[in-house]
Amino acid sequence: MENNQQSNQISGAITYPQRNEQQAPVQPRQPRNLQGLLRFAMEATKAEDAPGNSELGPMDEERRKFLEEALKSLTVDIAELLHKAIKVLTDSEKIKSIQFGSELPEDVEASFNSLMEFIDDIDISNDFYKVGGFAMFPICFSSENDQVRSRASRVLAELCQNNPFCQARALECGLVNVLLHMVGTERGETLASCISALSCACREFKPSCEEVIAQEGCETLANILSTAQGPARTKVAFFVTYLCQQHPPAREKFIKLNIVKILAEQIKSGRDSSSEHLLSIIHSLLESLDQTVVQQCLDPSLNLKNILENHLKDPEVQDAYIEEKNYCEVILKILEKCPQVEVVNSEADR
């Protein structure tokens, strides 16, 4: 037979070694009941078993009951969990009783933790709203306790991130305006959580961005950028970067506010986790060579060129923070090509 196969080959043709093809193993059928689940598991792992008889016999009632209880203990009733957490976090008397500086009661802490464990799933997030979950926010945001407000902000941020349904509901419920008010008064970690919630409620959702702009949110964000420290400054810089790049009306607002001056002062104060975003905003504003931005960047009193050159001298920037290095170099190149222009004071400096 082998000689016949060889004789049938065309002389001079390219030939390939024959593959030793194996038939794909037959997959066990999908289980439809408890016994089917066990059979599925055993058949799927048969190759790993020691030699011997692995045939399944009839399951007695005692074993069935034991396995049903074991499986039930591993199952989480998410709907019940949501209802329990919402019941705790919408108890206005309980939340009101948590005083400033106090630790969270165990049931309140557990409720926040339970929500954060499951609401990263977009379907569960949407169900959370549908079963009345958003009623917790007016109550929690009214608390005098920083932790309650901060944890509620984190929940809202998780619900809204990349979720247009919850973003729309947050806007409808007035939560975007509530957050705008809160970021003007919060401090520290609570401020960082609040900015994160506002950012998640707005990014990639134009109606909320328009609401922020209409409610003088750009002015609020610029003010926070000039005063916030640590994670809060990083988060607000990230959000401002997005608004400048994606929403021209916000960009125009920030230009009128001479945000370049604020950015330069923050960069001059020393590098931190916000530096990349601060530089990104300047780069974004300069890309179009808007003459007002060019004037602001070339303002001798600002001395932006010197600030960027000093930032580049930081060994960390040279060795580890390549994006910052690139932004500095690109901004300096743009400014070198721009002729010195007469400095005109902006509205923000008058």
Our measurement of the distance from residue 11's CA atom to the centroid of its chain's CA atoms, rounded to an integer in Å, reads 64
Average pLDDT over residues 323-350: 76
Nearest to 296 by CA among 336, 251, 262: 262
- Tell me what pLDDT residue 77 has: 82
pLDDT tens-place string over residues 291-327: 999 999 999 999 999 999 999 999 888 888 999 999 9
Alpha carbon distance, N-terminus to C-terminus of the chain: 98
DSSP 53-64: -----PPPHHHH
SS3 281: helix
In this model, does residue 112 exceed pLDDT 80?
yes
- Tell me what pLDDT residue 41 has: 63
In this model, does residue 130 exceed pLDDT 90?
yes
- Tell me what pLDDT residue 293 has: 96
pLDDT tens-place string over residues 37-85: 556 666 666 665 555 555 556 677 887 777 777 666 556 688 999 999 9
In this model, does residue 174 exceed pLDDT 50?
yes
Minimum mean pLDDT among 4-18, 57-71, 102-116: which range? 4-18
Percent of the chain with pLDDT over 70: 78
Nearest to 327 by CA among 290, 268, 294, 287: 287
- Tell me what pLDDT residue 340 has: 63
Neighbours of 61 (CB within 10 A): 7
Percent of the chain with pLDDT over 90: 69
Enumerate domains of the chain plus CATH numbers. 76-215 (1.25.10.10)
- Tell me what pLDDT residue 73 has: 56
Beta strands in 198-264 (DSSP E): none
pLDDT tens-place string over residues 228-284: 999 999 999 999 999 999 999 999 999 999 999 999 999 999 899 999 999 999 999
- Tell me what pLDDT residue 347 has: 47
Structure-model confidence comparison of residues 220 and 78, the more confident one = 220
Average pLDDT over residues 181-202: 97
- Average pLDDT for the chain: 86
In this model, does residue 345 exceed pLDDT 90?
no
Structure-model confidence comparison of residues 285 and 27, the more confident one = 285
- Tell me what pLDDT residue 36 has: 60
- Tell me what pLDDT residue 92 has: 97
Question: 157-189: string of b/e by CB count within 10 Å (b at 16+)?
Answer: bbbbbebeebbbbbbeeebbebbbebbeebeee
Nearest to 113 by CA among 158, 144, 161: 158
